[in-house]
């Protein structure tokens, strides 16, 4: 249905473009065959004929000849203006002009009236065809938009349905497994024996200790005291060996090889 709708939409667009092109060509032909210019040219020919008859009887300074010359000049100016104007007419202006001309020619008997009416009818037919194709194109676009929206809705629904089906399969599988475990547990009387090969895997066998692994508390205390005494003695010995200061007079005599005459106490001066 979507492919057929797109094909109809494409065909309607092509037909609308062809109808607009045909109407534009018709407008161009109507602009080139403006009946007002033909009427003015007929009046110019009549005016030139009357002017030739007047010149046969009067001179160019006569008032009738001057009046006819002014009329002829005015008609020629109007014709030039129309020729210049029809090059810049829009389709709407041409349509209004032809409607006005058709209304005027219907009130007057003219030999060109059938031709004028046929051209105007072709123009109206082209406009009606364009309007009909435009309406059809709008309807097809609305239908295509409606189908596109429905397709999007259906796509979302299909995704939701797929998700629901997937969830249903997973939950149904879980339910079947639980039901099978329940039934087998009722038969065997013990769930572990039924699931030993698949669910339970023993890596190392458990062992039960026969004696405590930690030492008794009094042994830990004795070991701590002994290690503390050893650490204290070794620290004291190390400090004494590394200390180079002199604390006794005998050490001073042995070090300096001199006699001690007097001892001066160390007085700290208070400031």
The mean pLDDT value of the chain amounts to 77
pLDDT (mean) for 204-230: 85
- Residue in 102, 100, 142 with CA at minimum distance from that of residue 119: 102
The upper half-sphere exposure of residue 78, i.e. CA atoms within 13 Å in the direction of its Cβ, equals 15
Classify the phi-psi angles of 257: left when phi > 0, otherwise alpha if psi is within -120 to 50, otherwise beta.
left
pLDDT (mean) for 201-219: 77
Q: How far apart are CA 209 and CA 264, in angstroms?
A: 74
Contact between 50 and 68 under an 8 Å Cβ cutoff? The reply is: yes
pLDDT digits 0-9 by tens, 236-264: 999 888 877 777 777 777 777 777 777 77
In this model, does residue 189 exceed pLDDT 90? no
pLDDT (mean) for 171-190: 79
Contact between 142 and 135 under an 8 Å Cβ cutoff? The reply is: no
Higher pLDDT, 58 or 161: 161
In this model, does residue 74 exceed pLDDT 50? yes
Please write down the long-range contacts of 133-139, taking CB distance under 8 Å and 24 or more positions apart: 133/12, 133/15, 133/16, 133/19, 134/16, 136/12, 137/9, 137/12, 137/13, 137/16
Q: How far apart are CA 23 and CA 91, in angstroms?
A: 9
- What pLDDT was estimated at residue 109? 47
In this model, does residue 153 exceed pLDDT 90? no
pLDDT digits 0-9 by tens, 99-137: 665 565 555 544 445 555 666 677 778 778 888 888 888
Neighbours of 187 (CB within 10 A): 8
Q: Which of 18-22, 145-149, 167-171 has the lowest mean pLDDT?
A: 18-22
Q: How far apart are CA 17 and CA 23, in angstroms?
A: 10
Q: How far apart are CA 128 and CA 130, in angstroms?
A: 5
Q: Which of 68-77, 103-112, 153-162, 202-211 has the lowest mean pLDDT?
A: 103-112
């Amino acid at each position: 249905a979507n492919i057929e709708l797109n094909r109809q939409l494409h065909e309607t667009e092509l037909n609308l473009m062809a109808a607009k092109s045909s109407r534009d060509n018709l407008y161009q032909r109507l602009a080139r065959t403006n009946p007002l210019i033909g009427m003015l040219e007929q009046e110019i020919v009549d005016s030139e004929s009357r002017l030739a008859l007047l010149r046969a009887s009067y001179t160019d300074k006569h008032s009738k000849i001057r009046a006819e010359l002014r009329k002829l000049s005015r008609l020629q100016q109007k014709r030039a203006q129309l020729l210049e104007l029809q090059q810049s007419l829009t389709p709407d202006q041409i349509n209004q002009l032809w409607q006005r001309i058709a209304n005027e020619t219907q009130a007057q008997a003219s030999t060109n009236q059938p031709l004028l009416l046929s051209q105007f009818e072709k123009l109206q037919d082209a406009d009606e065809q364009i309007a009909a194709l435009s309406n059809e194109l709008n309807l097809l676009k609305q239908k295509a938009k409606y189908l596109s929206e429905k397709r999007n809705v259906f796509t979302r629904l299909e995704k939701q349905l797929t998700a629901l089906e997937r969830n249903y399969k997973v939950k149904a599988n879980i339910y079947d497994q639980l039901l099978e475990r329940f039934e087998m547990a009722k038969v065997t009387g013990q769930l572990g024996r039924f699931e030993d090969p698949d669910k339970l895997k023993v890596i190392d066998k458990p062992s039960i200790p026969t004696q405590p692994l930690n030492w008794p508390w009094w042994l830990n205390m004795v070991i701590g005291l002994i290690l503390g005494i050893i650490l204290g003695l070794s620290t004291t010995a190390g400090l004494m060996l590394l200390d180079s200061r002199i604390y006794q007079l005998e050490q001073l005599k042995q070090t300096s090889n001199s006699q001690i005459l007097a001892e001066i106490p160390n007085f700290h001066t208070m400031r």
